[in-house]
Structure 1
Amino acid sequence: MFDKAEFTKGVVSWKQLPRDGRPEIAFVGRSNVGKSSMLNAVMSRKKLAYVSKRPGKTTEFNFFLIDGKYYFVDLPGYGYARVSKSMREKWANLIEQYLDERQTLRAVVHLIDSRHPPMEQDEDLIDFMRGSDVPYLIALTKADKLSGNERFKTVQRLEKRLEEVGRSVPIILTSSKSGRGIKEMRGWLRDFLG
C-alpha cells in the first residue's frame, strides 16, 4: 500500500471534483505548514507535490492517485495574506463544503506548525470537525525544530485545547525533514482506508 502515486488533477470548483468514487484523504492546514512536504514524505517521493519557498502556492484542490485505488487531496492553505480576500473566501467556502458534504472523504489530516500555537483558522477547523463523522488526525509539523521538552509542551497544550471542546483525536509529531512520525502517519492513513 502507498507504493505508487501520481498527480491526476487540480480542481477549483465542486463540479470538477472526481466522480469515480475512490476514497479520499484530505490534507488541510495553513499556508506554509508543510502539506506538500508531508505528502512527499508519506509517499517517499521528493517531487510528487510541488514544495515552494513562498506560501500560498497551492491554489487548487490537488488530487494524487495512490496505488490506483485512493486519492490524497492537497487543499489550498488558509491564512495567507497576499491572496485576495475574494479568493480566500472562495477557498474557505469550497473547503468547508468539501469537508462537510464529500461522500468519498474517509479522513482529514489537519497539519499544524508545532512551533506555534494553533492559529484562529486552526481553531475554527478544530471546532468545525467536532460536528463531523469523518475520522480526524492532527499532524504537528516541523517537530525537528523543537527540543524534546518543547515537543512535549506542544502536544500537551493541544490535548488540553481538544479536551476543552470535547474531542480526543490522534496527534502525531512529524518532520518531513527528519522522517519523525512518518511511519506512524502511514499506519493511520492505512487504517482510515480500511
Structure 2
Amino acid sequence: MNPNKPIYHEEVPFPETSFSTSISKISPETPLPEGTLLGFIGRSNSGKSSLLNSITNRKGLAKVSKTPGKTRLINVFSTKAGFSLIDLPGFGYSKASHKEHKDMMNLLDQFLNEITSLKVLFILCDAQRSFPEEEVQMIETATLKKILPVVVRTKIDKLNQKDRNAIQKEMEAVMNELGYPFPLFFVSATTGKGIGEMRKFILSKVQTIPV
C-alpha cells in the first residue's frame, strides 16, 4: 500500500451522499429534507468543501473554489441514511461585495434561528491560524440555540508536532474561557487524518439525536 495515499475511504463506511438543493432564503416553503441536519461552517479557506468531500468520499460533491468566500448559498447534501450535511456560507474575510456578504450573514442567521432540525454545527478553522473570536462566538451561539458545537481544526498535515501541541493547548484555553468543553477534531483532507473519527462521530450522533 502506498503510505502517502489518503486512507479515509478505507476507515469507516459512510452512507451514499448526493447534492439535494441550494437555499437562497428561509421561509415556510424552504425545501429542507426531513431528518437530522448537520451544519458545516468556516471562514474562507478553512477547507470546508474539501472536508465534506473527504467525509462523504465523493470528490467534487462540494465544489472547491480558488476564490475565497465562494459559498454564498446554503447547499444541502442528503444521505441514504436519512440525515443531511449542510454547507453554510463562510464568514469573515470574503471577496464578495458588502451587500453580498451582508446577505450571506442574514441567510446564516435565519438558518440558525429558524431551522430546528439543525442539531450539530461543525465550526472549521485552519490549523495554521489562531482560533478567532468570531469562532468562539459561534460556539456560544450554537450552544444557546441548543445546537451541539463541534470544532474542527483543518489542514493539520501542514503542522509539526510542536505546533499541534500548541493548538491543543489553545483549544483547551478556549474551553476554559467558555466554561464548558466541546468536541474537537484535528483533520486533514489531504492525508485522511481524523476523517474516520469524524465519520464515526457523525453516525453516532444521527443515531442518538431525536429528530
Q: Give TM class, smaller chain.
A: over 0.9
Contact 1:63–1:72 (8 Å) recurs in 2: yes
Deviation at 1:5, TM superposition (A): 1.1
Q: Does 2:22 correspond to 1:5?
A: no
Distance in 2 (alpha carbons) for counterparts of 1:174 and 1:19? 28
Contact 2:139–2:149 (8 Å) recurs in 1: no
Contact 1:130–1:167 (8 Å) recurs in 2: no
Q: Does 2:129 correspond to 1:116?
A: yes
TM-score between both structures, scaled by the size of structure 2: 0.86
Distance in 1 (alpha carbons) for counterparts of 2:118 and 2:30? 12
TM-score between both structures, scaled by the size of structure 1: 0.93
Give a deviation string over 1:143-191, Cα, whole Å, max 9, x none.
0000011111102101211211112001110000010100110011112
**Aligned position for 1:137:** 150
Q: Which runs of 5+ in 1 are unaligned?
A: none
Contact 1:8–1:65 (8 Å) recurs in 2: yes
Question: Which has the higher mean CA deviation after the structures are superposed, 181-190 or 123-132?
Answer: 123-132
Which of the residues 2, 7, 14 maps onto 2:26?
14
Which of the residues 158, 162, 180 maps onto 1:167?
180
Distance in 1 (alpha carbons) for counterparts of 2:175 and 2:186? 16
Contact 2:15–2:81 (8 Å) recurs in 1: no
Matched residues, percent identical?
Answer: 31
Q: Which runs of 5+ in 2 are unaligned?
A: 1-12
CA RMSD of aligned residues (A): 1.6
**Aligned position for 1:96:** 109
Q: Does 2:89 correspond to 1:43?
A: no
**Aligned position for 1:62:** 75
